Structure 1
């Protein structure tokens, strides 16, 4: 069961042209204007989050050369043993 979050009121200012487009979209989609705005914000936010993740992956790929030769299956305990440490 999906729980609806509490709504908050916001006062925004739009150009007349944007207001007309919003009204038209609301009519076409048969949705309240506030719902359309919320959907658009969520869509843009998801795109930004996706881009952030892709950038992080790109940085990981660029830095992988620094980790060549490291056994991915080695444990912290094994590393400590190899270093002679008992931390």
Structure 2
């Protein structure tokens, strides 16, 4: 029974990684780090089909989803303070 109650050190990095992945601010920063360079490449010559269009199709919904999560958290906390 004692072994089950001890926090095992090898599982701790997984918990930290899950917290980082689920943090919406990390999603915003990563997606912006991908979106901004892609836009520079696309604006260089719009008429050429590039891989950056596909990267934008993937990263832009992640950006929107992360912002939605951040704003939902802000609205939920503001309701707590008004009461």
Higher relative contact order (CA 8 A, sep 6+): 2
- The structure that is helix-richer by fraction is 2
| TM-score using structure 1 length | 0.37
Structure number with larger C-alpha Rg = 1
| TM-score using structure 2 length | 0.38
